[in-house]
Amino acid sequence: MFHSTRDHARICRGCWDQMRIPVPIRGPLAVPFRIFGISRSKMNPNICTLCERAFHRVKKQKHIPATVTILFADIRGFTHLSELINPSELSDIVRTFQDQCAKEIWAHDGIVNKQMGDGLMSIFNFPIKVENHAEAAIAAALEIQQQCKDSLGALITSLGITPPGTLGVGVDVHTGPVEIGQFSTDRSDFTALGGTVNLAARLEAKAVAGEVLISAECAALAPDITNDTLTRTLKLKGIELPVLAHVLTVAHNTETPKPWTSSLGLI
């Protein structure tokens, strides 16, 4: 399974991977850059705000084609839960979810491209180049499920809440071609657009609490993880043909913890 070995890069990995320019983001050499507004990005602490806000300067184009893996995650049962607790408690739950997701996405060299309250969108393989980006995204998705199951469960218990039966996290991962760039004059950060993103968003809506749905395109690039898993054929809104998805779930065992299992119980 994929694991990043560069958790605290001293130079921006995005600027290095995209331009071969060493922009310091940690240590004494980073201080002058911070004076000029260049600091670590909120999308991933191993890239800088040049990657985040100056795409056209980094790539010399407004947008470019790329092959990436997209991850969507969302809290299931959130609307029901919001009717049971006050806004302060709800914000604690959202913050815990977002923090756990970001931690695992960053650990596998992805970026948190968008945060939408109780959901998020992540990109793997830009601006940090990840050779096995499909495998990295799946690994992050499984860790998100495990960590959110533990941390959200503990938080719900501490608040004395009886959660709805559907409470949990749904995650999906899909790989394909996109256009990456800045698509608005009012917003300066980059994002990804295209059918790949649309299909990923639609697929995520079908993931029930505790599931990771993996598209066939993504699964084909990570056979060691997805072989011998259950599959499900889904009809997605706005997608003409049925979509085949591999289904993974996380096992929770406090005595002999396992990083992940498939829904068939295979390591």
| b (16+ CB within 10 A) / e for 144-182 | bbbbbbeebeebbeeeeeebbebbbbbbbbbbbebbbbb
Q: What dotted CATH number matches 62-262?
A: 3.30.70.1230
Q: Which has the minimum average pLDDT: 69-73, 89-93, 107-111, 199-203?
A: 89-93
pLDDT at 102 over 60: yes
- 206-244 pLDDT, tens digit per residue, is 999 999 999 999 999 999 999 989 999 999 998 889 999
- Find where tokens 């003409």 sit: 240
- 11-22 pLDDT, tens digit per residue, is 999 999 999 999
Distance between CA atoms of residues 92 and 55, nearest Å: 33
Please report, for the chain, the start and end positions of each structural domain, with discontinuous segments joined by +.
62-262
Quickly list DSSP for the chain.
Answer: ----S-SS-SB-HHHHHHH----B-SSGGGHHHHHTT--B-SS-TTSBHHHHH-HHHHHSSSEEEEEEEEEEEEEETHHHHHTTS-HHHHHHHHHHHHHHHHHHHHHTTEEEEEEETTEEEEEESSSS--TTHHHHHHHHHHHHHHHHHHHHHHHHHHTT----TT-EEEEEEEEEEEEEE---SS--S-EEESHHHHHHHHHHTTPPTTEEEEEHHHHTT-HHHHTT-EEEEE--TT-SS-EEEEEEE----SSS--S-EETT---
- 159-195 pLDDT, tens digit per residue, is 777 665 667 899 999 999 999 999 887 666 899 999 9
Mean pLDDT over 30-43 rounds to: 94
Q: Which amino acid is at 213?
A: L
